[in-house]
Structure 1
C-alpha cells in the first residue's frame, strides 16, 4: 500500500523499490497480490501501462533472491502439489482483504457524488467501518485472532528447555516434535540447545496426518533421518491422527518385520512421551 501511495504521487523510483522489498518479505503471498493489483491497473489505465509493467518488472528483480529462497526451501519438497495449492489459496484468501478492501473503497469513492442525498454520502464511511468491525468479529476465531492478541501478555512455555537439560536429550540428533499451543517456541528452544528438526515450522512441512501402516510411517521417519519423536499432551485431541498410536504399536519391537525402523520408548512424563527411532540394517 505504501508503494501504491508513492506511485500515485509520482515517486515512481521509490515505489518500485518499496514494491520489490514488500514482495521480498513474503513472496508466496505479497507477490501474487501485487501481480493482481498491477494487472488490474494495467487493464484499466492504458496510458501508463508500459511504464507500470516496466517498473513492476524491476521490482520482481529486487524480489528475485527471496523468491529463490522460497522455491529452494525444504517445505516445497516436503509437500505434495495438492497440499501446496490448497495451502496457498487458504492463506491467500484471508490476506486478500488487506488489498481488496482499500481497492473497493477507492472505487466506491468515485461514485459517492452520485448519491442523491448528502446524508447518504456522509453515512458511507461509518457504514463501512461497521461492516469491517463485523467482519473482524465473524472471522475472529477462524483467523486465530484470540491466540494472536493474547501474545501481548503470554509468558513463554519453557517445557522444552527443561527437556534439553535432561540426560535424555541428545544434541545434534534429529527430532520430530508433535506439539500444540506453544507458538513454535519449543522448536526454537530445541534448535538453540543443539537439537535438529526433521521439518520446517510450517504445518505442511511437518506433515501431520494419519499413516496407513507402520511400514509407511517407518519409511517416512527413515527418509527424514529422524532419531527421536516427541509427542506432547493434547496433540492427539487436536489433530486426531494415528501417529501416536502407531508409535506405541511399534515401540519396543526389536525386529524389522513391520517397518524399516525400530522404535523404543525412552521417557514418559505428564506432558510428553519420547520415542527413539533406529533404522534397520
Structure 2
C-alpha cells in the first residue's frame, strides 16, 4: 500500500471531521490499526483540529442563558379527564360549562434557541475544521517542497565544493616541481580518451586525472600499469566513479618508463590484456 498517497488523498482529514461514509469510516479504522504511520498521521490531524478549536472558540456570554430561556415558548399542556371510563385530552384553557366541549389535543414543536445555536456551532466547527485540515495539508506540502529544495541545494553545494577541491589539488600538483606530468592519450580502442598521471618523483606517489574515459561496461573495470624493466607492473584499479576527481593509485617504481590503462574484469588481473589497452603515455 502507498502510505503517502493515502495520506495525501485527504481521507484522514475527512474522517477526523466526521464527514466520511460508513464504509470509508470502517476502512480508515481498519487501516490505522494495520499501519502505524496512518495512525500517527490521524492523531496529528485530530490534535491540530482540537488546537484550532480551542484557539478560535468564542466563549458564550453569560447573558445568553437568560435570553434563551426568555425566548423559549411552550404549547398548551394536555390534561386528562374521565369520560365514560375513558380519558380525553383537553386544554387547560377550556371553561367549565354545563356541556363539556370536545377539544382536539394540541401539541407544539419546540425549537429552543440553544438548539439552533448548537446546530450553527456544529456547522461552523465543521467549516473551521475543514479549513484547518486544508491549511495543515498545504503546510505539509510546502514543508516537503522546501525540504526537497534544501536537499537539492546541499547536493549542489557539495558538488561545487568537490569541484573546488579538485581544481585546487590539480593546480598544486602542476605547480610542484617534483611532480612529473605524464600525458596518456587514447589508443585505437578509445581514440577520444585522455588521462594524465601526476607522478611525484620524490615520493613516488601517483595520482590520476581522468579527463575523458568511457564508462566501463558491466563487469569490467579499468586497471593502471607501469612499465618497469620491460615488464608491466600493476598500479591498482580505477574507481568506477572516476570523473572530476584525482585518483590515488599505488606508488610507482623510480624506474618506470611508461604508464598505461587497460579494461579488465572486475578486480583486475596479474598481467594486462594488451588488446584492451585504452590509453598509454611515455614518461
- Which TM-score bucket, shorter chain as reference? under 0.3
Highest Rg: 1 or 2? Answer: 2
Name the TM-score, length of structure 1 as normaliser.
0.18
More strand by share: 2
